[in-house]
């Protein structure tokens, strides 16, 4: 059973009409509203980068003036020095402004992304969450959104510097001496020529193997940590350990191969781009041109200063590459969440007439396409309790999850008060349907707030009444701060206790339709009693559907529906079905025997501390 009890959120504010609706916007779509701010970041960075060349050019000019024969003009020298200093100041101001705006922009984009994600997560089918750990969802909203930081705050500036500075420098150097300019470009050309060597299929394959080997180490570590209790209890530590060691050994093999093949290319590239090599090339080329009489010695100076600038940004890009790759992967995961199809909300919600529930030829398949509900026709009349029974995997949980619309059926329809659930607004649906499933999620909030989740304005007496009915009142009084105890901080609840809180929550919500999955894992006597009492105290007009695991609940039900392999195989009152001596009678007898032997069918789930 994998349902997520998100509570019958009676008073839950409806999401904004179009938030998260419609097609996923994609990264570029998301960034479009910030186009002007991006343009400002790039423009300021561009001006700053070009102004940053001024001090270098000033040094070059001063060098020329001082090296040229005859007395130097102090006025000219001062003007050049002042221009250089002004350039430096402009560079400082503009790059600071660009970086400031870039970081503010980054904050805004991250906020917008998180809002989008929150809006989308508020609209995706609730069942979607049951297949994902809360950690996975939290990682996308938290870490992954933060990981786009280099994309937004740094990449524009670095890209601009990487292209604009060399371009302006090149123009200047060409004007000084085109031959030495070409010679100065030799290191860059060598480095660029080596890039394809890194992209050959064999290298790309190694890169993929490297990523996969890293992934295997991470997986085996997570597996080991998550299953540590089972592993220790059942003595599988050695095997789990072996898996980790094998993953680590694999990684070492892949890494050594990758490093052996890549290191030579990477080292050669670094050497080509290193300042000593660039200076060496410039000096050799310059010396040759000067000695052949084709170039004035003072002209060598700009090449020595600006030549280094031609390679530095290219090298800087390489350094940020890992961050950018990580940002790209994070953006992909964010996009995947933004693209999850939301449950469509009707443009004009219909109003149900009463609370008769009807399933008409309902078919359902999870993502793997295998049909787990194969044409269910079922009517749940108001004022009746319907017990759903059947072997494990027959589709009981899937069926009950369709009522609070965790998923939509892939065929047929589920109707409430004559209206297809897809025609109902979600607010209206949760005012009518509440549920208690096995996988109870309590909020890190006071117990009283957890009980009153669906009815936040409920008075203390009402909360206590619901808690008493659910058999959890006395336990709450034993908690350190009674009803004000914050679950998770001040105290933890057992699985059975958490389920009783969920029952109290559903009783207080007082919806006309209640869907209940009787606990198997947490079936302590108090919880069993709470379920029975809850069912018994409900007023006569309620529509109740319960996945029944205990024979008493089955016996008390008005109708029993037996499910097998996604189809209803028998239905009727318990007495009728016993008299028929068919599948249900056999099921009943097997449970009786199991009960007598002291085993409670289906107790395979482990307890989870709340």
Ligand X SMILES: Nc1ncnc2c1ncn2[C@@H]1O[C@H](COP(=O)(O)OP(=O)(O)OP(=O)(O)O)[C@@H](O)[C@H]1O
The angle that helices 300-319 and 155-176 make with each other, rounded to 10 degrees, is 160
CB 52 within 8 A of CB 165: yes
Minimum separation from the CB atom of position 121 to ligand X (A): 17
CB 5 within 8 A of CB 439: yes
All residues at 6 or more sequence positions from 476 whose CB lies less than 8 Å from its CB, including other chains: 447, 467, 482, 483, 485
Distance of CA 349 to the CA centre of its chain: 31
In whole angstroms, give the CA distance from residue 446 to residue 490: 9
Q: β-pairing, 559-564 with 543-547?
A: unpaired
Q: Which two tokens stand for residue 275?
A: 């300042």
Minimum separation from the CB atom of position 118 to ligand X (A): 23
Q: Which residue, 425, 443, 447, 557, is CA-closest to 508?
A: 447
Q: Which residue, 394, 610, 325, is CA-closest to 492?
A: 610
Q: Residue 461: helix, strand or coil by DSSP?
A: helix
In whole angstroms, give the CA distance from residue 244 to residue 218: 9
All residues at 6 or more sequence positions from 499 whose CB lies less than 8 Å from its CB, including other chains: 436, 438, 440, 519, 522, 527, 530
- H-only helix segments in 386-491: 396-402, 426-432, 447-451, 460-469, 473-478
Q: Residue 75: helix, strand or coil by DSSP?
A: helix
> CA torsion 556→401→432→476, rounded to 10°?
70
In whole angstroms, give the CA distance from residue 218 to residue 241: 13
Length, in residues, of the chain? 610
In whole angstroms, give the CA distance from residue 15 to residue 119: 7
Minimum separation from the CB atom of position 509 to ligand X (A): 23
CB 140 within 8 A of CB 334: yes
What is the full DSSP assignment across 509-526? HT-SEEEEE--STT--HH
* Residue among 320 and 602 whose Cβ is closer to ligand X: 602
All residues at 6 or more sequence positions from 549 whose CB lies less than 8 Å from its CB, including other chains: 518, 519, 520, 523, 600, 601, 602
- H-only helix segments in 274-404: 275-291, 300-319, 321-338, 396-402
Q: Which long-range contacts (CB under 8 A, 24 or more apart) does 595-601 make?
A: 595/551, 600/520, 600/523, 600/549, 601/520, 601/549
Q: Residue 16: helix, strand or coil by DSSP?
A: coil
List residues binding ligand X (CB under 6 A): 1-2, 130-131, 366, 368, 372, 390, 392-398, 602
* Residue among 231 and 563 whose Cβ is closer to ligand X: 563
* Residue among 20 and 390 whose Cβ is closer to ligand X: 390
Minimum separation from the CB atom of position 240 to ligand X (A): 25
Q: Is 343 left (phi over 0), alpha (psi -120 to 50) or beta?
A: beta
> CA torsion 73→74→79→83, rounded to 10°?
100
* Residue among 128 and 483 whose Cβ is closer to ligand X: 128
């Amino acid at each position: 059973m994998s349902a997520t009890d998100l509570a019958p959120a009676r008073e839950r504010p409806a999401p904004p009409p179009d938030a998260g609706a419609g097609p996923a916007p994609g990264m570029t779509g998301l960034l479009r509203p910030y186009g002007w701010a991006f343009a400002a970041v790039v423009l300021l960075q561009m001006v700053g980068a070009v102004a940053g060349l001024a001090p270098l050019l000033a040094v070059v000019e001063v060098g020329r003036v001082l090296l040229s024969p005859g007395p130097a003009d102090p006025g000219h020298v001062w003007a050049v020095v002042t221009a250089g200093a002004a350039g430096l100041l402009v560079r400082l101001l503009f790059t600071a402004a660009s970086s400031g705006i870039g970081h503010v922009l980054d904050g805004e984009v991250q906020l917008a992304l998180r809002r989008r994600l929150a809006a989308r997560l508020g609209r995706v089918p609730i069942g979607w969450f049951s297949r994902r750990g809360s950690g996975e969802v939290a990682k996308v909203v938290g870490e992954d959104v933060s990981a786009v930081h280099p994309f937004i705050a740094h990449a524009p500036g670095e890209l601009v510097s990487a292209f604009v500075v060399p371009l302006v420098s090149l123009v200047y150097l060409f004007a000084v001496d085109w031959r030495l300019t070409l010679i100065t470009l030799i290191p860059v050309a060598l480095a660029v020529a080596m890039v394809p060597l890194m992209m050959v299929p064999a290298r790309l394959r190694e890169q993929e193997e490297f990523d996969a080997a890293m992934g295997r180490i991470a997986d085996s570590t997570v597996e080991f940590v998550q299953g540590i209790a089972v592993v220790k209890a059942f003595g599988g530590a050695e095997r789990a350990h072996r898996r980790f060691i094998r993953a680590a050994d694999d990684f070492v093999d892949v890494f050594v191969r990758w490093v052996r093949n890549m290191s030579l290319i990477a080292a050669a590239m670094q050497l080509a781009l290193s300042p000593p090599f660039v200076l060496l090339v410039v000096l050799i080329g310059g010396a040759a041109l000067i000695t052949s009489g084709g170039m004035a010695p003072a002209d060598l100076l700009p090449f020595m200063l600006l030549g280094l600038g031609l390679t530095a940004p290219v090298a800087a890009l390489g350094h940020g590459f890992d961050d950018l790759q990580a940002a790209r992967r994070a953006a992909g995961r964010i996009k995947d969440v933004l693209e999850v199809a939301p449950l469509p909300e009707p443009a004009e919600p219909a109003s149900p007439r009463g609370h008769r529930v009807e399933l008409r030829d309902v078919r359902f398949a999870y993502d793997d396409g295998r049909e787990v509900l194969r044409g269910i026709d079922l009517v749940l009349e108001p004022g009746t309790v319907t017990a759903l029974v059947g072997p494990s995997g027959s589709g009981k949980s899937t069926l009950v999850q369709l009522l609070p619309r965790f998923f939509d059926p892939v065929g047929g329809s589920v109707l409430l008060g004559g209206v297809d659930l897809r025609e109902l607004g979600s607010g209206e649906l949760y005012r009518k349907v509440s549920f208690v499933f096995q996988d109870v999620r309590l909020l890190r909030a006071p117990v009283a707030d957890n009980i009153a989740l669906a009815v936040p304005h409920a008075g203390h007496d009402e909360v206590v009444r619901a808690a008493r009915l659910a058999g959890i009142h006395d336990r709450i009084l034993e908690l350190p701060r009674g009803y004000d105890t914050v679950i998770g901080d001040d105290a933890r609840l057992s699985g059975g206790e958490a389920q009783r809180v969920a029952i109290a929550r559903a009783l207080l919500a007082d919806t006309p339709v209640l869907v209940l999955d009787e606990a198997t894992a947490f079936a302590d006597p108090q919880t069993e009693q709470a379920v029975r009492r809850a069912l018994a105290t409900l007023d006569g007009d309620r529509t109740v559907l319960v996945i029944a695991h205990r024979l008493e609940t089955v016996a008390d039900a008005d109708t029993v529906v037996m499910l097998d392999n996604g189809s209803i195989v028998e239905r009727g009152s318990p007495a009728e079905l016993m008299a028929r001596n068919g599948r249900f009678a056999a099921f009943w007898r097997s449970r009786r025997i199991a009960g007598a032997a002291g085993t409670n069918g289906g107790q395979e789930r482990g307890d989870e501390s709340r």
